[in-house]
Amino acid sequence: MRLRWRKRRHGHSRRGNPSASPKYSRRGFDVNTLGIGLIGTGYMGKCHALAWNSVAATFGTDIRPRLVHLGEVNETLAKQRATEFGFEKSSGDWRAVIDDPDVQIVSITSPNQFHKDMVIAALDAGKHVWCEKPMSTGLQDAEAMLMAAERTDRLCVLGYNYIQSPAFRQIETLVKNGRIGRVTNIRVEMDEDFMAAPDMLHSLKHRAESGHGALDDFAVHPLSLLQRLCGLPVEVMADAARPYETLKDAHGVDKKVETFDIASALMRFPDGLTGTLIVNRSAWGRKGRIALQILGTEGSILFDQERANEFQLYLRSDELEIQGFRTVLIAPIHTPYNHFVPAPGHGLGFNELKVIEANEILKALSGKPARLVDFSDGIQIERVVHAMAQSHASGKWTSTLG
């Protein structure tokens, strides 16, 4: 049966918690194996390769990934990476990966500005798609990607691995079960320092073709968490800044910085909930911070991705003599932690979240409920980012509903 996608332009209340999974067509595919194509072999490309290599052994999946074809910018690098990652074939042309009849799903981990063309080509070739966030560098391209997804019965998902965190899953359960009462205010931050140095070289991330900057590079991650916790905001007031107006390129020439490394936003939600979002790619000392403060009528929850295997919980119902924030350490009871480690205190890392995400993809392809950000969810995040950019330009509150 052909999967019919529906646009949800006003669907910000959706919280990505499906009770059933649509049937994605696997016509012409071996039912027991899934041929993997990988485009891009940088940090996230290697992360995808590790996930596809590990998922069957970790979760005992019915579908076994087969690493078929890897694409890079040239033949030499592609061959080297294929040997390292365990792929059967390699190519210096990404189109060869998509055209390979043995490839059934394409992992797209290229720079953001190439996502649209690669995704649409993969869908037109009848492939499933796992594309790293964000969808693209602008809303128009993201809308084109959604339209391509609506025309097909293939699985189209985005790489938002932080929603797979066992700690965040437990936080989400506590919030949805009302353990901290009605949520009245939520604060989210994402900070790193890889673009903080005044002597760093001008690069692609400083050029407008790469997108807005911290908004689409960083803000999309905390927004994916909000999407599951409380839905997305319907109105935003945003500002953005850059720490440096110019940086020198590799030849010592001053080049204008066209993107914004710092952004903040006030957010309004449909039910009266308010929130704030702050993102910064130039925050010295912050290495991988995604911080949540969820404040409710009966308690509060604190979480920081730099301490990914714990969170803090405060409950008003506790007796006064023991009232205070308690640290909850993630343990085997917090699935899917138990598939990796048999005891608390050992911890999971970034790459394990990608293995969990790969397993969710295999579940979706098997017709089981899956925890994923599909293109219909992803476009909602892109619309919020677009509204924030518009708000920064206009200095006004801006609707995210289009």
**Taking Cα atoms as reference points, which of 383, 358, 353, 368 lies closest to residue 163?**
353
pLDDT at res. 23 = 62
- Using CB atoms within 10 A of its CB, is residue 181 exposed (0-12), middle (13-18) or buried (19+)? middle
d(CA 298, CA 316): 5
Q: Tokens at residue 9, please? A: 């332009």
pLDDT at res. 396 = 98
d(CA 353, CA 49): 13
**Taking Cα atoms as reference points, which of 61, 54, 106 lies closest to residue 348?**
54
Contacts of 157 (CB under 8 A, 6+ apart): 129, 130, 131, 361, 364, 372, 373, 374, 375
pTM, entire model: 0.93
Q: Is residue 397 within 8 Å of 236, Cβ to Cβ?
A: yes
pLDDT at res. 5 = 33
Contacts of 279 (CB under 8 A, 6+ apart): 189, 190, 191, 214, 215, 218, 219, 222, 262, 263, 264
d(CA 167, CA 333): 11
pLDDT at res. 27 = 60
- Pairing relation of β-strands 246-248 and 156-159? unpaired
**Helix, strand, coil share of the chain (percent; to 5):** 35, 25, 40
Q: Tokens at residue 10, please? A: 């006003």
Q: Tokens at residue 226, please? A: 């909000």
d(CA 127, CA 43): 23
Q: In what order do the strands lie in the sheet with 33-39?
A: 89-91, 64-71, 33-39, 105-108, 128-132, 156-159, 373-374
Main-chain phi, psi angles of 285, to 5 degrees? 95, -15
Residue that has been written with the tokens 């999967």 in this structure: 3
pLDDT at res. 187 = 99
d(CA 186, CA 183): 7
**Taking Cα atoms as reference points, which of 45, 34, 40, 9 lies closest to residue 400?**
9
The pLDDT tens digits along the chain (402 residues) read 233 333 333 345 444 444 345 667 666 566 689 999 999 999 999 999 999 999 999 999 999 999 999 999 999 999 999 999 999 999 999 999 999 999 999 999 999 999 999 999 999 999 999 999 999 999 999 999 999 999 999 999 999 999 999 999 999 999 999 999 999 999 999 999 999 999 999 998 898 888 899 999 999 999 999 999 999 999 999 999 999 999 999 999 999 999 999 999 999 999 999 999 999 999 999 999 999 999 999 999 999 999 999 999 999 999 999 999 999 999 999 999 999 999 999 999 999 999 999 999 999 999 999 999 999 999 999 999 999 999 999 999 999 997
What domains can you pick out in the chain, each with its CATH number? 33-154 (3.40.50.720), 163-356+384-398 (3.30.360.10)
d(CA 104, CA 285): 41
**Which of the 8 DSSP states describes residue 3?**
P
